Structures are given as structure tokens and as C-alpha cells.
Amino acid sequence: MSTYGFPPDFMWGVATAAYQIEGAHDADGRAASVWDTHSATPGRVRGGDTGMVACDHYHRFREDVALMAELGVKHYRFSIAWPRILPQGTGAVNEAGIDFYKRLVDCLGEHGITPHATLFHWDSPQALEDRYGSWRSRQMAQDFADYATATVSRLGDRIASWMTLNEIKCFTYAGYGVGKPGRHAPGTALGSKQELQQTVHHALLAHGMGVQAIRAASPGPCRVALVDDFRVPVPVIEDEAHIAACGRALRHINGEILVPALTGAYDPLRLRELGADASQIADGDLAIINQPLDALGLNVYFGVYVEPSDCERGYRCIDYPAGYPHMDTAWLNVVPSCVYWGPRLVAEALNRPDLPVFISENGCACPDTVAPDGRVHDLDRIFYLRQHFRQAHRALSEGYALEGYFVWSFMDNYEWSEGYAKRFGITYIDYETQRRIPKDSFRWYQQVLRENRVV
């Protein structure tokens, strides 16, 4: 029997995002983000919840980092809040905001934990939305690059691992809509599908310009990655025809974000389908977007089952049948092999076997409650993670360039449009008292880290 052991240098970690945990929405010079405005708008977030307090991590980070040290994790992915650094989106740097992240990273260092910072995890400054409509404007890319310069030049002596943007499709397609705003994220009504596609192109430009800015501003060697939640095709049957169909599906389904970022060109079939709705591309844009990367972060929670087809696309997606297992969110179907096929298809379908991949997010929501014994018995989360870890081991054992795995999330948090109704953490948060309670999955992951294998 396999022991499911991992290499000694494998990066086991946990992940969070600023707006979901920090709170302190107006502390020390921070101005409003688009999520502050969005969550305060009636009807936008379940229960009317906001991130004004969240997990109060801004004031409790030392307690949280000590808990990470108890867990035994050596890598922590977090995000930096743009409106803490540049409250007006551009202009004067708020040094008090910089100082918070210096204190956080120094505390991580005291516990031997390596920081991995995401520059944008959806909480852009409201000032830029008011000024020109955020991602509707090409100016957003330049302002993001300037924000990256300001941040990296001040924190680059402490942080060497950077990520530009998190999940482009989630803050573009989910925030903007034709004739009305998107349903699940901040955004506005647009006049056409072409304008919607243009928000995606502007985000890709921000990524490319951000990579350039990070490398120019870093005071020392650094690693730069893009984080994408690309939909991972999974073959219904692992034969040659189904695997080839998955390759075609990867390029087509993800042809507007992942493909141009890694290859320097939009997927031709996807462009033909978009027709006049495709993004307007200025000279030099694709070279900016296709910046060399040191790694690719894959946020993956489920996969899409695919089989071959005689249609132009060359594949067909298979719907989940009624009764297919899912976690405590209807969209989170259990497809553990997505963790294997993601790295493999990047290597084979996009011809990038040279590019290291890390799982930047993977986890699940469970209906967690505190039992009479004072513990949280989230056996369903342990089941979910164990199966996905085994697929990560399979990818490594077959030689694919998987270098790390960040569990989402270190703690329960503000789950965007679901408010506080969904719990993704391995640490339970009692939001009334801000008490932290390690769940059974925390203790299980602790043992995985001790033995460096799937237990």
C-alpha cells in the first residue's frame, strides 16, 4: 500500500484573504473598498452581513499566527488590502497600512512561516469605482501597477513570493452584467457583452503590468505568480480520446484568461464564438499580458466532467446527475481528481511542463457546529481533503510540477455574497466572541504536516 508521502520541500500551507478576515474597515487610514459598499447595499449579501469586523484579524493577527504555528504549517497565503495602502486608489501611500503588514510578516517570521502575498483579492478601492468605474477602464491596469510598486518597494525586503490577481473571472463576470449588475460581486450594468469582455482584458493587463512592477520594485530576488480558478476538465473515462477532449476543453473553457496569460494569445475558437463581442486589443497588449511567471496558482474546488464530441469544440461537458455528492454549497461537487488533472493539463494541453503549479486554494464548506464536548467534528471536511491530497500525491508521483498546497481556509470567514452563512475554515470562529476553536480537520491536517503524508 502507498504511504502517500510527499517530498521534504513540498509547500504545505493555509490561505486567507484580507476582506474576509481583517475587519477594521476604517482603522489607521483605510478607506472603503468596493466590497464595503457592495455589502452595505440591501439585498446584495445574505443576511445583510458585511466584512466590517469579520474575524478581527487586524487586531488579533498575533493570536492567529500563533495558532498557525501550533498547526505546524510553514507557508501562509494572504492578501493585501489595496485601500489600506492607497486609500484613494492612487496618490499618497498610507504608511500605517504598510506597517500593519510589516507587523504581520515579522510575526510570521518569528514562527518560521513563509509569507505568500496576493496583491488583489477583489477589494479594490471604492475611490477608483467612483472615479472611472474600476475594471471598465483601462486606467485600472496602470493604477494596479502603481499600487504594486508602492507595496513591493516597501514590503519586498520581507516578502519574496507574490501573486498578482486572484480569480479574474470572479470579479469581472460575477460583478458586471449586460443591462444590470452581476449578482455576486461589486460591479455595474454594462451596455454590451463586448464591454463585459473588456473588463476581463483590463484585468489581464493589470496582471501583466503588475508582474513587471513587482520585478522592478522588489529589492531582492522574488517569485511571481498568477492565481486562476480555471475550470478543470476531468475525463469521464481515462482513455486517450477522453484525455484529448479534456485538453481541447481546457483551452476553450479557459481561453479568455489562462490561455492568453500563459501563451500570449486568446483561444482562436473562443474568439470566433465571441465575434464582435471579443475584447479590443491594442498593439503590445498580448506581450504585456504574457509575462514570464515563476509559478501558477490554481484555486480548485471541483472539476467538470468531459467526453469527446464530433462538434466543432471537440468535447462535451456532462452535467452532474441528481444525487451527485456535494458539500455544504450546491456548486461544490466532489471531484477530487481535479487536483490531478489541473497540473497535468497545464503541462500537456498548454505545453507548459516547465511551469510549477501550486494549489493556491482547495477546501470546502461544511455545516459546522460546536458539539457538547466543545469540539467541531467536521469529518466531512477531513473526507474531502484526504481525497484531494491523494490526487495531489498522484500528480507528484507521475512527475507533474506540483510544488505546494494551500488549504482554504485557515479560519471561517466572510464568505462574500453568502455572508457568514458558510464555513470553509479548519478553525471555527465564534463571531460573537471572536473565539477561535480548532476543528477536527485542524488536528488531522496537523498530523499530515507532522508526517508529511496523507493520513
Q: Which of 6, 17, 5, 8 is nearest to 297 (CA)?
A: 17
167 is catalytic: yes
The DSSP output letter for 404 is: E
CB-based burial label for 198 (10 Å; 0-12, 13-18, 19+) = buried
| Catalytic residue from among 22, 129, 256, 361 | 361
Q: Where are the beta strands (DSSP E) in 157-245?
A: 161-166, 177-178, 189-190, 223-228, 232-235
Interaxial angle between packed helices 95-110 and 139-155, expressed in degrees from 0 to 180 and rounded to the nearest 10: 50
Transcribe 96-110 into DSSP letters.
HHHHHHHHHHHHHHH
Q: Which residues pair with 106 in a beta bridge?
A: none
**DSSP character string of 61-97:** HHHHHHHHHHHT--EEEEE--HHHH-TTSSSS--HHH
The three cell numbers locating residue 163: 501573486
What angle separates helix 57-71 from helix 95-110, to the nearest 10 degrees? 20
DSSP string computed for 412-439: ----GGGTTS-B--SEEEETTTTEEEE-
Query: What are phi and psi for residue 324, nearest 5 degrees?
Result: -60, 140
In the residue annotation, 398 being an active-site residue is answered as no
Among 201, 90, 225, residue whose Cα is nearest residue 151: 90
In 204-324, beta strands by DSSP E: 223-228, 232-235, 295-299, 303-308, 315-317
Please tell me which residue in 167, 256, 273, 312 is annotated as part of the active site.
167
Of 352, 353, 362, 294, residue with least CA distance to 327: 362
Return the exposure string of 71-110: e unless at least 16 CB atoms fall within 10 Å of the residue's CB, then b. bebbbbbbbbbbbbbbbebbeebbeebbebbbebbebbee
Calculate the alpha carbon distances from 311 to 98, 235, 245, 321 in Å. Answer: 53, 17, 11, 23
Residues 6+ apart with CB under 8 A from 455: 444, 447, 448
Residue 270, Cβ neighbours under 10 Å: how many? 18
Known catalytic residues? 167, 361
